[in-house]
Chain A
Amino acid sequence: MIKFVLMVNRQGQTRLSRYYQPVELGKRAALEADVVRGCLYRKKEECSFVEYKDFKLVYRHYASLYIVVGITESENELSVYELVHNFVEVLDKYFSRVVSPIMFNMDKVHIILDEMIQNGHVVETNHSRILAPLSALDTLAHS
Chain B
Amino acid sequence: LFSGAARRVGASRRKRRNPAKMPAVSKGDGMRGLAVFISDIRNCKSKEAEIKRINKELANIRSKFKGDKALDGYSKKKYVCKLLFIFLLGHDIDFGHMEAVNLLSSNKYTEKQIGYLFISVLVNSNSELIRLINNAIKNDLSSRNPTFMCLALHCIANVGSREMAEAFAGEIPRILVAGDTMDSVKQSAALCLLRLYKASPDLVLMGEWTSRVVHLLNDQHMGVVTAAISLITCLSQKNPDEFKTCVSLAVSRLSRIVSSASTDLQDYTYYFVPAPWLSCKLLRLLQCYPPPEDGAVKGRLVECLETILNKAQEPPKSKKVQHSNAKNAILFEAISLIIHYDSEPNLLVRACNQLGQFLQHRETNLRYLALESMCTLASSEFSHEAVKTHIETVINALKTERDVSVRQRAADLLYAMCDRSNAKQIVAEMLSYLETADYSIREEMVLKVAILAEKYAVDYSWYVDTILNLIRIAGDYVSEEVWYRVIQIVINRDDVQGYAAKTVFEALQAPACHENMVKVGGYILGEFGNLIAGDPRSSPLVQFNLLHSKFHLCSVPTRALLLSAYIKFINLFPETKATIQEVLRSDSQIRNSDVELQQRAVEYLKLSSIASTDVLATVLEEMPPFPERESSILAKLKKKKGPGVVPVSELEDGKREGGELNGGGDRGPDSSTPSPSADLLGLRSAAPVSAAAPSAGSLLVDVFSESGAGGPAAAVNDDGFLRFVCKNNGVLFENQLLQIGIKSEYRQNLGRMYLFYGNKTSVQFASFSTTVSYPGELQSHILTPLPPVEPLVEGGAQVQQVLNIECITDFSEAPQLNIKFRYGGALQNITLKLPVTINKFFQPTEMAATDFFQRWKQLSQPQQEAQKIFKANHGMDTEVLKAKLLGLGTALLENVDPNPENYVCAGVVQTKSQQVGVLLRLEPNAQAQMYRLTLRSSKDTVSKRLCDLLAEQF
Q: Which residues of A contact B (CB under 8 A)?
A: 1, 9, 14-17, 22, 25, 28-29, 42-43, 45-51, 54, 62-65, 73-74, 76-79, 81-83, 85-86, 88-89, 91-92, 95-108, 110-111, 114, 118-119, 121-126, 128-129, 132-133, 136-138, 140-141
Contacts and interface: CB of A to CB of B under 8 A. Distances in A.
A86 B692 CA distance: 74
Interface string B1-30: 111111111100100010110111111110
Contact of B365 (A48, A92, A140): A48
Interface stretch (B186-194, B522-530, B569-577, B730-738): B186-194
Nearest to A25: B92
Would you list the 7 A-B pairs with minimal beta carbon distance, nearest first? A78-B329, A64-B4, A121-B230, A65-B5, A79-B329, A46-B403, A118-B191
Interface string B90-134: 101000000000000000011001100100000010000000000
A114 B154 contact: yes
B88 A47 contact: no
Interface stretch (B221-229, B426-434, B604-612, B674-682): B221-229
A103 B26 CA distance: 10
A14 B89 CA distance: 7
B2 A122 contact: no
A102 B368 CA distance: 32
B284 to A, nearest CB: 7
A102 B2 contact: yes
10 contacts: A46-B402, A63-B4, A106-B84, A118-B191, A119-B158, A119-B230, A123-B223, A125-B268, A129-B184, A132-B184
Nearest to B84: A106
A119 B333 CA distance: 22
B708 interface: no
Contact of A98 (B24, B195, B365): B24
A28 B284 contact: no
B4 to A, nearest CB: 4
A56 B908 CA distance: 76
B31 to A, nearest CB: 9
B642 interface: yes
Given A79-B277, A88-B9, A137-B109, A123 B1 contact: no
Interface stretch (B248-256, B320-328, B864-872, B878-886): B320-328
Contacts of B496: none
A25 B123 CA distance: 11
A64 B9 CA distance: 12
B358 to A, nearest CB: 11
Contacts of A50: 405
B614 to A, nearest CB: 59
Contacts of A98: 24-27
B88 A16 contact: yes
Contacts of A77: 329, 332, 365, 369
B403 A45 contact: yes
A118 B88 contact: no
Contacts of A106: 81, 84-85, 88
B22 A104 contact: yes
Given A9-B1, A45-B364, A123-B223, A99 B405 contact: no
Nearest to B150: A133
B352 interface: no
A62 B38 CA distance: 22
Given A47-B364, A123-B226, A140-B109, 18 more contacts: A28-B90, A42-B403, A45-B402, A46-B406, A77-B369, A79-B280, A83-B277, A92-B9, A98-B26, A99-B17, A99-B24, A103-B42, A104-B23, A108-B27, A125-B278, A126-B223, A126-B268, A133-B109
Given A65-B5, A100-B2, A49 B150 contact: no
Interface string B54-88: 00000000000000000000000000010011001
Contacts of A49: 365, 368-369, 405
B279 to A, nearest CB: 9
B284 A76 contact: yes
B368 A82 contact: no
Contacts of A22: 124
Contacts of B184: 129, 132
Contacts of B832: none
A74 B154 contact: no
A48 B406 CA distance: 11
A65 B8 CA distance: 10
A142 to B, nearest CB: 8
B276 interface: yes
Contacts of B365: 47-49, 77-78, 81
A138 B644 CA distance: 48
A123 B28 contact: no
B367 interface: yes
A137 B113 CA distance: 11
A97 B17 CA distance: 10
Contacts of B124: 22
Contacts of A14: 88-90
Contact of A110 (B5, B13, B117): B117
Nearest to B363: A47
A54 B642 contact: yes
Nearest to A123: B227
Given A79-B277, A82-B329, A107-B81, A15 B223 contact: no
Nearest to A117: B191
A73 B113 CA distance: 32
Contact of B8 (A62, A118, A128): A62
A48 B168 CA distance: 40
B24 A138 contact: no
A76 to B, nearest CB: 5
B13 to A, nearest CB: 6
Given A79-B329, A104-B24, A119 B195 contact: yes
A66 to B, nearest CB: 9
B277 A137 contact: no
B281 interface: yes
B876 to A, nearest CB: 58
Interface string B255-275: 000000000000110100001
Contacts of B767: none
B200 interface: no
Contacts of B406: 46-47
Interface string B326-353: 1011001100000000000000000000
B1 A126 contact: no
A132 B2 CA distance: 21
Contacts of A128: 267
A24 B191 CA distance: 23
A103 B195 contact: no
Given A47-B403, A128-B267, A137-B28, A104 B38 contact: yes
Contacts of B364: 45-48
Nearest to A50: B405
B157 interface: yes
Contact of B270 (A1, A51, A82, A99): A82
Contacts of B194: 119, 121
Contact of B4 (A62, A74, A85): A62
A124 B226 contact: yes
B223 A124 contact: yes
Interface string B209-235: 000000000000011001100100000
A8 B9 CA distance: 17
Contact of B90 (A29, A74, A133): A29
B354 interface: no
